[in-house]
Amino acid sequence: MKTSIATVSISGDLREKLAAIAAAGFDGVEIFENDFLTFDGSPAEVGRMVRDHGLEITLFQPFRDFEGMPEPQRTSAMDRAERKFDLMAELGTDLMLVCSNVSPLALGGIDRAAADIRELGERAAKRSLRIGYEALAWGRHISDHRDAWEVVRRADHPNAGLILDSFHTLARKIDVGSIRAIPGDKIFIVQLADAPLIDMDLLYWSRHFRNMPGEGDLPVTEFMRAVAATGYDGPLSLEIFNDQFRGGSPRSIAVDGRRSLIYLMDQVARAEPAISIDVPEIPDRVEAQGIEFVEFAANEQEAQELGTLFEAMGFAAVARHRNKEVTLYRQGAVNLVVNTEKEGFAHSSYLVHGTSAYAIGLKVADATATVERARALGADIFEQRHGPGELAIPAIRGVGGGVLYFVDGKTEGVWEIEFEPTGSDAGDSAFRSIDHVAQTMNYEEMLTWILFYTSIFQVHKSPMVDVVDPAGLVRSQVIENASGSLRLTLNGAENRKTLAGTFIAETFGSSVQHIAFRTGDIFKTARRLRDRGFKPLVISPNYFDDIAARFGLEGGFVETLRDLNILYDRDGHGEFFQFYSGNFGEAFFFEIVERRGGYRGYGAANAPFRIAAQRRMLRPRGMPRATRP
């Protein structure tokens, strides 16, 4: 599999783009004419720069408004092409993209277009170059790959072929099965892009909202399965116009791009076992069986405060690490670990983010296979020196800089092997499991997180919902598996004034904003926690009047909810109850939930009330942030 990406997909100047593309492991680049025009070097220098990075130029693009023109425009289009051929020779690339004509002057007519493509192919052949013809979804007469293929077929020239672009085909909902009838050797390059489903003008949608395969809603895998059936084995080239990417980090967008292609072809190879596809064989997407633990980094004082809060929630400090300053708190099957070491990754994480949940341990069937898949998809492996008698638990770096550990049958004895019991019982057993973990990031980084999780794990993403914070919008998207054993809610903050944005600013990008525990009886749990001195987040009394009316709830029941600060929601499947802790410092908080029946959501409708309550608790504006040692 040869991978390529258009320079237009990435931010930065040409130098930065090429460095990021090469570092991410691509084989080639499409040079977008504008990137080249705004660069202060000659075409030969650009060509050299590309090759110095170990890349090849897979395509020069775009050449516009060419076919089907009347005279004198036809002659001048041919002359224009000759000048681009000069440029391509200097750059050192042999393939030019000709996109279908959008000019109002274009005359139309398949045979006229074919004659022009044939002549251009002939001119290209004289210089040992090739041209590829692409149907733009908004082309004046040719807007469908089936018609573009008919033009190329009739042009019947070895140096003239077809270019397929998943966006143009899928945006118009053209049957991808039609691709299977095209000979693979007449497809000169395949461009790939996904996009969120938005009903808007095709050109605007394409220029601003394309994203990496797997990040959007288009059936790019189906498209690529059809391409694979033709026997095409040329470059797979990402051509992504996206406003966020243009402002994003070149390095991270390039890594996402390469990850998206590996993930895409992995899915294609699995779906088309009869077709030989040149793609590395990697372990299948991983089923996370649950969250084994969450680990916090803290200093000693905050570790104590955290321990007090855990105990108020019914946890007990059941064990201490034999060699490290690490305490295990447990309740039922929920493990919370507090690490106050003065060296190692937890400590560096503490220095950067303050007290935070920097690591999550996931239960999987095979931790080694999990890491192998993650590594193949470009994730960074996390390794830390471990002492004698300590287990090496396989781990990777998460997107936000945290750590994801993978615990399987080989390492599940970690609590007995590395830890010494304190003699305390395992606390209360009101919490059955971790229901979900909420991670917060800048909105621009959300797609990176989504692709990371969906490509490594067997999870699906729910539609994005908007949560209104008085200071702006927060975009929320759920990543979960079918059994509910892994549920993550991702919150993308559009600005720093929202509560989620403040969290990112105050904790320098720390990602776990809240952890939700699941209980079987929320009323009993809320009362028990109250008796233990737990202070729930106080919800406005008006909220309860509202839900009483909205859901037709009975008076006594609503009074109990109000008394215990329990928020309520209901969907077609069941009911949901939730209450929160206050903020711990300015960072994270905890949530306790009960799901009744088959309720599938996360109480999104209640989020504005939770945010308003938390805002009331926040320090007044302008006060300095608590100093940390």
Q: Summarize as ranges the residues that interact with Mg ion (CB under 5 A).
A: 165, 191, 239, 516, 591
616: phi then psi, degrees, rounded to nearest 5? -65, -25
Amino acid letter for position 83? R
Distance separating alpha carbons of residues 253 and 542, to the nearest angstrom: 45
To Mg ion, the closest distance from the beta carbon of 438 in angstroms equals 5
Distance of closest approach, residue 237 Cβ to Mg ion, in angstroms: 9
Report the nearest approach of Mg ion to the CB of residue 319 (Å).
Answer: 28
What Rg, from alpha-carbon coordinates, does the chain have? 28
Q: Which residue has the tokens 């601003």?
A: 208
Closest approach of Mg ion to the CB of residue 331, in Å: 18
Distance CA 609, CA 419 (A): 41
Q: How far apart (Å, rounded) are the C-alpha atoms in residues 603 and 577?
A: 8
Nearer to Mg ion, 100 or 455 (CB): 100
- Is 166 or 507 the residue whose CB approaches Mg ion more closely? 166
Nearer to Mg ion, 53 or 168 (CB): 168
Q: Which is nearer to Mg ion, 261 or 318 (CB)?
A: 261
Q: Which is nearer to Mg ion, 3 or 191 (CB)?
A: 191
* DSSP string of 94-141, one letter each residue: -EEEEEPP--TT----HHHHHHHHHHHHHHHHHTT-EEEEE--TT-SS
Which is nearer to Mg ion, 133 or 382 (by Cβ)? Answer: 133
Nearer to Mg ion, 239 or 295 (CB): 239
Q: For residue 10, what is the DSSP state?
A: S
Burial label for 620, CB within 10 Å (0-12, 13-18, 19+), is exposed
Report the residue number, 377 or 593, with the smaller CB distance to Mg ion.
593
Cβ of 115: how many Cβ atoms within 10 Å? 17
Q: What minimum distance in Å lies between the beta carbon of 211 and Mg ion?
A: 14
The backbone torsions φ and ψ at residue 600, rounded to the nearest 5 degrees and listed phi first, read -110, -10
Are 100 and 140 within 8 A, CB to CB? yes
Which residues, 6+ apart, have CB-to-CB distance to 620 below 8 Å?
Answer: none
In this structure, is the dihedral angle defined by the CA atoms of residues 347, 351, 354 and 359, taken in order, positive or negative? negative
Q: Which is nearer to Mg ion, 190 or 371 (CB)?
A: 190
Q: In this structure, what token pair is assigned to residue 112?
A: 């006229």
In angstroms, give the least distance from the CB of 524 to Mg ion.
20
Q: Least separation, in Å, of the C-beta of 437 and Mg ion?
A: 9
Closer CB to Mg ion, 428 or 569, in the complex: 569
Q: How many helices (H) and strands (E) does the chain have?
A: 21, 26
Considering the complex, what minimum distance in angstroms separates the CB of residue 436 from Mg ion?
6
How far is Cα 408 from Cα 289, in angstroms, rounded to an integer? 10
Neighbours of 175 (CB within 10 A): 11
Closer to Mg ion at the Cβ: 370 or 491? 491
The two three-digit tokens of residue 459, written as one number = 């999870």
Beta strand spans in 7-55 (E): 28-32
Q: Which two tokens stand for residue 73?
A: 């425009």
- Provide the minimum distance between the beta carbon of 492 and Mg ion in the complex, in angstroms, as a whole number: 15
Q: Which is nearer to Mg ion, 165 or 408 (CB)?
A: 165
Nearer to Mg ion, 239 or 256 (CB): 239
Residue 174 CB, nearest distance to Mg ion (Å)? 14
Which residue type occupies 153? R
Residue with tokens 């590309």: 50
Give the tokens for residue 257: 């791009």
φ/ψ of 58, rounded to 5, equals -85, -20
Closest separation between CB of residue 282 and Mg ion, Å?
Answer: 28
Closest contact distance (angstroms) between CB of 167 and Mg ion is 7
CA triple 7-176-451, angle to 5 deg: 50
For residue 239, the SS3 value is coil
The distance of closest approach from Cβ of residue 617 to Mg ion in the complex, given in angstroms and rounded to an integer, is: 17
Nearer to Mg ion, 165 or 256 (CB): 165
Peptide bond into 394 cis (omega under 30): no
Residue nearest to Mg ion (CB): 165
Give the whole-angstrom CA distance, residue 258 versus residue 238: 9
What residues contact residue 550 under an 8 Å CB cut-off, 6+ apart? none
Q: C-beta of 591: minimal distance to Mg ion in Å?
A: 5
